[in-house]
Structure 1
Amino acid sequence: MEMKAGRSSSLRLLLLVSCCVCVAATYPFGPPLDLDVTPRVTVLSNSLWGCRRFSSSSAVNYSTMLLEADSQRLFIGARGAAFALDAADISASPALTIEWEASAEQKRQCLLKGKDNKTECFNHIRLLQRFNSTHLYMCGTHAFSPLCAYIDAETFVMSPPEEGRDKCPYSPTTGYTGLIVDQELFTASQYEFRSFPDIRRNSPTLKTEDAPTRWLNEANFVSSALVRESLSSGIAGDDDKIYFFFTEGGQEHGAASGGHSRVARVARICKGDRGGLLTLQKRWTSFLKARLTCSLPEYDFHFNMLRSVFVVPGDTPGDTLFYAIFGLGWKNIKASALCRFSLSDVQEAFRGPYMETQDSNWKEYSGKIPDPRPGTCITDTTRAKGVNASTSLPDDVLNFVRRHPLMSQQVRAFDRRPLLFRRTTDYTHMAVNTIQGLDGQEYHVLYMGTDEGWLHKAVHVNGQLHIIEELQLFEEPQPVDNVLISDRMLSVYVGSPSGVVQLPLFNCQRYTSCYDCIFARDPHCAWNGYHCADVMVYPDKSTLIQDIQKGNRGCDNTQVDVSTHSRSVRVGDDVLLQCELSSNLAAPLWTLDGQELHGYGLSSGFRTGTDGLLIIRARRDQSGLYTCYAVENQIQVAVVTYNVTVAPDLPFPPTKDPRRRFPALPLPTPSEGAAAPAPRMPHSKMLSAKSMEAVYLSLITILGSLCVVLTVVLFYVGFCLRVGTRGKYSLPTATAVYQGAKRNHRKQQRNSASLELKTISNNGHGVHNGISKLPNGNIRDGGFLQIVPGEAYPSPNTEINPPPPAPPLPAAPECNFANGLSAALPSVLRRMHGNSYVLLNQSDAERASPLCSTFADELNRILEKRKCTQLIPRPDESSV
């Protein structure tokens, strides 16, 4: 048995070690360090400059936003309301408001469906877009019964709602994206409660196919974008296309073999698609999808969960770029990656080979492809063949489209690896601003919101991201639900569960020196010789200095103002020289009289940390000029200088204090920045580090034990005091005890008295405060010793001086019972409210019970006496 137990424990240990090794091998501890970028500057919420906020007491979840720069209005869709704000200052004037909440009856119906009354049974606005030149279009979940309505954009008044079941999802958390193009609504979501995910157009109605091949597999939609490829795509008569981005269950061999249950996708449809005539009637004839790959191949690490996509238009449709944020999809592990994709690569994937399914497995199709090519839009080439619309496509083309929606070629990242990888951050939404630098190049500035309410501003330089700053938008952590940018307003707008925040696109005033301005590498900022200026509004850009590529050129001839401090310390003092660095990317470097300090061990006398330089037990040879430099981008910039003087260890001045036993020892005198050293003891082995550590541990153990003992003693004393003085049950006074004992002694001498335990009843003659009194106020001759409810008030007849001790009471005779016990049992045993206690009663001889009786007789007597017992309402828990 012992061998089996040892073998099983060994197997468990081996399994545990194997699991740990697998987890360590799976988690990406080894990606290149240049991907895990640290934000250069951290700005807390109380230090935000130019921040404006908007929130309403009648709404939450400000997740849907529409910005119209021409009218300078920002439209917000929240839970139960919609708002129209001034885009120049969202907090300047009262907002135009539309209250649109679900009725009480609709909420009741939502509850009957088993939905959450705190989150789901409300009207969450999911779509708010421009419909035409005069109206907006808005859709909401309306407590799991979607509705849509038109809004007059000028007056901000809503028309009567209409059915929104095919335009808006039921749930506020279902993935959803919507786009209105030329007054046609394109949406993608899981619309009904038990339906499959779908991409739809409202009029004429078109949907994705479910059989025999399901085109979408548990898709969670993130975003959609219109690309006007009809303008200059290079294909004569080409159609505009709408691209949808989502995450779905993997179907192809690559996903299954790689262990990826979810994969990122991009799908495409043609704007002019009208469905098939008979085959694929009211279904898309141009639907195709391909996989988006954002990975680190050298580490075999893949990011599969798509979170946010932003489209950056180019000069031609082929130059369009997609910036996408990916996550891992692992619970309790935060990580984000950012990749960018080229539209030309997406188009190339849609021209590549198709995938087909055989025996529930997907593989590349190698058969004949019908003509016109399945999934393409109607162009001049197809029109020349007599196919002027999708309804004229041959059945063999439509049948091929039905069974081959997936492309074999994957769309890989434009840079073949992520631009950014963050282990400790979950990015939720993003927006991109394009600006031209002073070097003539265009730079993409990204604004990325996190799940904890931070906004990261980064610039894309040579295939990498440099995070310029991180801004804390909210004191309480909450996710960023939307991000919009306005070049005209020079603002970025952030939606969140609690409200909307407006921030300036840049804050060049934060950089107070030339080096700080250049190190930031912010395309919006440049040094003009005096301060860091805004590039977009500065009139003469030829005088500005900027270095976005490397961030270290242009400030060689600039004077740096360095603050100087003087410190005087005594020999043996510990001194801290503070040096605060504003940049998270800078490293401190210290010099003494122009020579760099090397080695910061204990023997060197120096230690460095985040606070500055610590001089340990200062010596006279450590006097000099200390300078702290911030090293960033291979440039050293002086931050602060200290002129430190270490004074000699002088003796104490003479004193007449008779308490001084050692006049030769120096008196401790205060010194600047450090406490005076104590007199040093003679060196001994008993005072070594290990010995002192053992002594400290012993003292701590002894003191801890003493504290425990004292706590128990104090608790016990307090308990006794509370019972004896403050409780509802108390002992009678000493006089009453003495007198009762004396009378009982005399009675026992005259009669064969007995002990009796009985309950105390208010039917007695003047029983008060534990003492039986006659109507005249004197103590009754047949008094008794008892414990009764009530406070221990002194008797009026109690003498001040304590009486002499009472004579000893005779011992009670023993009673032998059938069970072998020998004791004088009490006559009454009461239990009230779970508290067991005994009332002792020494009564007169005429009411005494026999000394020895059976237990049954005693029990019957107890039950009879209990009938007339009056209990107090609430006895004290600590009564005895």
Structure 2
Amino acid sequence: MGGHFTLLTHLLLLLLRSLPGVCGFPFGPVLDLDVTPRTTVYFQDLLGCQQFSRRSLNYNTLLLEDDSGVLYVGARGALYALDTSNISKPVNLMIDWRASAEQKKQCLNKGKDNQTECYNHIRFLQRYNETHLYVCGTNAFRPLCAYIDAEHFNFSSGFEEGRDRCPYDPAKGYTGLLVDGEMFSASQYEFRSSPDIRRNFPFPTLRTEEAPTRWLLEADFVSSVLLRESVNSSVGDDDKIYFFFTERSQEQMAYPSQTRVARVARICKGDWGGQRTLQRKWTSFLKARLVCSVPDYELHLNVLRNVFVLEGQDVHSTVFYGVFGLEWRNIKASAVCQYSLSDIQRAFEGPYMEVQDSKWRQYTGKVPEPRPGSCITDAHRSKGINSSRDLPDNVLTFARRHPLMSTQVHPIGRRPLLFKRSVNYVKMAVHQVTALDGHAYSVLFLGTDEGWLHRAVEVGDQMHIIEELQLFETPQPVVTMVISPRQRSVYVGSNSALLRVPLSSCRRYTSCFECVLARDPFCGWDGALCVDISSRTNRSRLTQDMQKGNRACDNVPGAVVQRRRTVMSGDDVLLQCEMRSNLATPRWTLDGSDFQVYGLDSGHRVGTDGLLLIGARPDQSGDYRCYALENDVWALVRLYSVRVLPDMPFPIGPTVTTGASSTTTGPASPSVSPSVPTERPLPSPPVPLPPGPEFQTYRHMEAMYISLVAVLGGLCLVLTVVLLYVSFCTRGVYQRCKNSQQGLPESGVPHMELKTISSHCNGRRESRHGRRSLSVSNMDDMGDGFLQIVPGVGSPSKSPPPPAPPLPMPPPLPCSEYASSEYTNGMSATLPSVLRKMNGNSYVLLRQPGDPEGSTSPLYHSFTEELNRILEKRKHTQLDPNPPDESSV
């Protein structure tokens, strides 16, 4: 039943993939919006990173005080004060704050998980005043809060009850702020309570309304921010706090399968609740929907995962960046949408929604004065309304029943700033940097659910992902992130560790092409190195091109890998050329001319990892250059001088040789373009090798190898006899051997059959790449031994049968009949076996000695087809990544 259900699921997904706009799935033409990271950097290749990790886990709360150089960290059962310049040094301060054994026991009695929930997870950590911090933790499902003396880094007083300020569950969405001695937080605080937004202190405390209209419905909070809109306000406005969350949809949706929506809510900092109506409830609460979709393809990303607020020179130029995902957890896709504060304010000033016939519809009636949900301004004060307690009851009643706005908040440009499929972004931070062209660029740092960090830059109306970094060796989600402009670093927290990552690693770019094509606003080429532009006071000689990324780098020294390859005619040769950029495509030239690809029968194939010459011919000798083509720029990556020796017959009769080999020099090689210098001059073009002393040397070398193989065959035979005896005795024949030595009659002699021959005959074990000797047998595979002894079935009669005649030993085969003899650098000898050669990787079909000519195993044809499939699969994976610069002859 489960298999049928899985098959049905796959068929359904295939059907949805064929429909571009069905239910907002990220299939069809929308994939064209996907942005590919230019380079991929793995964990072992990270540069300039620092790591902090102690016995604690879950480093999910960070408080950065950049001016004082301190990073406060809240982990599971501990608090740390780290030096921002070196988070790895052991002198960092620590407060041990673990849940007591009694509290853990009570947590277990409540049915909670002892591996994750019954600990003290720090959820809130912020500055309270100049001398103290305020911290709250879950404390094994009994939240506590406390004050910390920042100077001595210890608790300065007793603990406070925290159940109204911190959630019980460490996995619940939560956000909180300390503003001028007042604490604002949003979460689901208790077991069965509904999520709400609260002001916890000072008195009176406020919260959201639950009846008759529930303001929040299964809300999952992700972020909050205070905007000082009272500063330089011409209308005497109040400061506002914005909350961002995802909740269950209340209005009618275009797609019934989408049950959740992203929201932004707003409250006024000076709200004190109503006098009679909405007592101890918000009078200024309003919420609106955040839309992040691609209208052309009906793709809607409705789950808000994180928000970063980038404040401009004034509060009205504030920009909100939101990370969105899909509601379906089995499909990965992410988008970043950008919103302006003016668009959010316009939504809160628009029409309201109300419940009509159990459905939310736009309200078209008369709105009372002053406008419900607005903050107290000079216009209110002129009418004698100095606080929310002075608001009329009809205004408060309308506000209670109309918390939702009809106008939706669309992103800037009405489309996502960035879309990425197969990735779940979960955290984000944004930093603005001024490039050499004088423009300020926003660099986005996006953390994924598998521990990767994407650095993306906004260029015009497009996004360019500079690189993706693997921050953790073990996949784990990024849980928190904060940027330090002073340290030019981003601090990333996860479940196992805290990392300090530089905002950019310019020294990773080793050439002018890489430095300019990266389009990294932090980096510029100074003529010899790629440097951080902030480290140079004189930037006139630095090269950078943010807009187009294709400024030429002519006459700039750069390292170009050059190799020589000498192979025999008929060999398959792979000329590797790895593209360091995921956006680059390989382009090949032969002796300065474009290398054309005419299909599978052209004798070569071009892939992302190199050029494959299939059955090399002497006319394919020459100088091969591999270029990386990116953004209309050709950058030389590798240069190969290939020499294909003709396959000539052996001379008959005596041959006279001289003591020295002759050398031949041809005309000079074509010069390299001055715009693409190489490390050394190009070698001479290939010249056919005439028969003579040098060829006779090759013949002697081949005879030496054949002799060596014969010796190894003899060793193989000896080992075979030993293994025959060992296997014979270990399979229950030991007793019969003993009886035979004592003159006792044997009950039977088992019949033995030779079954498997391993590649040990040529002195090599199975390689790490999976190279194996293969054989054909009608029996099931019994292992990787040299020989398989299969005992025969004895006669059931009591009288012992006559002893079986001894098995005739076949004449020993030379190893060339069942193994491959290889030379270095992709050379293989021609063997009288069913053989396929691929740059030194040889496979041979073993045959039983004494088989009649033309007789083959019934598995021969299927085995040959399997070999072909294996060869095709291994052409790009089983090669020596760094072949030597030597001739293989």
TM class, shorter-length: 0.7 to 0.9
Taking structure 1 as reference, are residues 725 and 141 closer, same or farther at Cα in structure 2, changes over 3 Å only?
A: farther
Match of 1:250 in 2: 249
The TM-score normalised by the length of structure 2 is: 0.72
With 613-622 and 72-81 compared, the bigger mean Cα shift is at 613-622
Taking structure 1 as reference, are residues 375 and 628 closer, same or farther at Cα in structure 2, changes over 3 Å only?
A: same
Instruction: Deviation per CA, 1:740-766: give whole Å up to 9, x if none.
Output: xxxxxxxxxxxxxxxxxxxxxxxxxxx
Q: Secondary structure of 2:58's partner?
A: strand
CA drift of 1:722 comes to 8.3
CA drift of 1:87 comes to 0.5
Q: What are the residue-to-residue correspondences of 1:7-26 with 2, within 5 Å? A: 20-22=14-16, 24-25=18-19, 26=22
CA drift of 1:720 comes to 4.4
Q: Secondary structure of 2:210's partner?
A: coil
Match of 2:410 in 1: 412
In 2, Cα distance between equivalents of 1:419 and 1:723: 80
In 1, Cα distance between equivalents of 2:417 and 2:424: 15
Match of 2:658 in 1: none
In 1, Cα distance between equivalents of 2:592 and 2:320: 51
Instruction: Deviation per CA, 1:370-421: give whole Å up to 9, x if none.
Output: 1110111011111111111011001011001100000001001112111222
In 2, Cα distance between equivalents of 1:736 and 1:617: 62
Taking structure 1 as reference, are residues 606 and 582 closer, same or farther at Cα in structure 2, changes over 3 Å only?
A: same
Q: What are the residue-to-residue correspondences of 1:458-607 with 2, within 5 Å? A: 458-556=456-554, 558-607=556-605
CA drift of 1:19 comes to 7.0
2:66 and 2:484 in contact (8 A); partners too: yes
Alignment of 1:102 onto 2:96: no
Q: Secondary structure of 2:534's partner?
A: coil
Taking structure 1 as reference, are residues 503 and 215 closer, same or farther at Cα in structure 2, changes over 3 Å only?
A: same
Q: Secondary structure of 2:540's partner?
A: helix
Instruction: Deviation per CA, 1:773-810: give whole Å up to 9, x if none.
Output: xxxxxxxxxxxxxxxxxxxxxxxxxxxxxxxxx999xx
Match of 1:367 in 2: 365
Structure 1 stretches lacking a partner, 5+ long? 1-11, 658-662, 679-710, 739-805, 809-880
In 2, Cα distance between equivalents of 1:70 and 1:389: 37
CA drift of 1:570 comes to 3.1
Q: Secondary structure of 1:318's partner?
A: helix
Match of 2:430 in 1: 432
Q: Percent identity?
A: 59
In 2, Cα distance between equivalents of 1:670 and 1:29: 59
Q: Secondary structure of 1:542's partner?
A: coil
Q: Secondary structure of 1:155's partner?
A: coil
Match of 2:120 in 1: 123
Taking structure 1 as reference, are residues 394 and 568 closer, same or farther at Cα in structure 2, changes over 3 Å only?
A: same
CA drift of 1:483 comes to 0.9
Q: What are the residue-to-residue correspondences of 1:718-733 with 2, within 5 Å? A: 720-721=732-733
CA drift of 1:716 comes to 11
CA drift of 1:644 comes to 2.2
Match of 1:744 in 2: none
Q: What are the residue-to-residue correspondences of 1:706-717 with 2, within 5 Å? A: none
Kindly name which structure, 1 or 2, has the bigger radius of gyration based on alpha carbons. 1
Instruction: Deviation per CA, 1:96-141: give whole Å up to 9, x if none.
Output: 1111111111111111111111111111000001111111000000
2:728 and 2:734 in contact (8 A); partners too: no
In 2, Cα distance between equivalents of 1:734 and 1:39: 79
Match of 1:629 in 2: 627
Match of 1:229 in 2: 229
Q: What are the residue-to-residue correspondences of 1:188-267 with 2, within 5 Å? A: 188-203=186-201, 204=203, 205-232=205-232, 235-253=234-252, 255=253, 257-267=255-265
1:430 and 1:447 in contact (8 A); partners too: yes
Find 1:385's aligned residue among 383, 387, 394. Answer: 383
Q: Secondary structure of 2:500's partner?
A: strand
Match of 2:830 in 1: none
Alignment of 1:321 onto 2:319: yes
Match of 1:706 in 2: none
CA drift of 1:717 comes to 8.7
The TM-score normalised by the length of structure 1 is: 0.73
Taking structure 1 as reference, are residues 554 and 577 closer, same or farther at Cα in structure 2, changes over 3 Å only?
A: closer
CA drift of 1:164 comes to 0.4
Q: Secondary structure of 1:230's partner?
A: coil
In 2, Cα distance between equivalents of 1:175 and 1:55: 25
CA drift of 1:463 comes to 2.3
Taking structure 1 as reference, are residues 42 and 369 closer, same or farther at Cα in structure 2, changes over 3 Å only?
A: same
Alignment of 1:347 onto 2:345: yes
Find 1:357's aligned residue among 351, 355, 358. Answer: 355
CA drift of 1:15 comes to 11
Alignment of 1:336 onto 2:339: no
Alignment of 1:48 onto 2:46: yes
In 2, Cα distance between equivalents of 1:601 and 1:331: 42
**RMSD across aligned C-alpha pairs, in angstroms?**
3.3
With 614-623 and 628-637 compared, the bigger mean Cα shift is at 614-623
Alignment of 1:181 onto 2:175: no
Q: Secondary structure of 1:237's partner?
A: coil
Q: Secondary structure of 1:60's partner?
A: coil
1:66 and 1:74 in contact (8 A); partners too: yes
In 2, Cα distance between equivalents of 1:654 and 1:241: 98
CA drift of 1:513 comes to 1.1
Q: Secondary structure of 1:543's partner?
A: coil
Match of 1:784 in 2: none
Match of 2:108 in 1: 111
CA drift of 1:596 comes to 1.0
1:600 and 1:607 in contact (8 A); partners too: no
2:624 and 2:639 in contact (8 A); partners too: yes
With 416-425 and 71-80 compared, the bigger mean Cα shift is at 416-425
One-letter amino acid of the counterpart of residue 88, structure 2: S
One-letter amino acid of the counterpart of residue 352, structure 1: G
In 2, Cα distance between equivalents of 1:367 and 1:529: 69
2:552 and 2:633 in contact (8 A); partners too: no
Structure 2 stretches lacking a partner, 5+ long? 1-5, 656-690, 707-722, 748-797, 801-889
1:175 and 1:221 in contact (8 A); partners too: yes
2:80 and 2:92 in contact (8 A); partners too: yes
Alignment of 1:88 onto 2:85: yes
One-letter amino acid of the counterpart of residue 228, structure 2: R
Match of 1:65 in 2: 62
CA drift of 1:565 comes to 2.8
Q: Secondary structure of 2:394's partner?
A: helix
2:62 and 2:72 in contact (8 A); partners too: yes
Match of 2:756 in 1: none
Taking structure 1 as reference, are residues 441 and 195 closer, same or farther at Cα in structure 2, changes over 3 Å only?
A: same
Q: Secondary structure of 2:564's partner?
A: strand
In 2, Cα distance between equivalents of 1:217 and 1:607: 59
1:525 and 1:535 in contact (8 A); partners too: yes
1:250 and 1:256 in contact (8 A); partners too: no
Instruction: Deviation per CA, 1:217-240: give whole Å up to 9, x if none.
Output: 0000000011111114x5421111
In 1, Cα distance between equivalents of 2:145 and 2:11: 57
1:339 and 1:420 in contact (8 A); partners too: yes
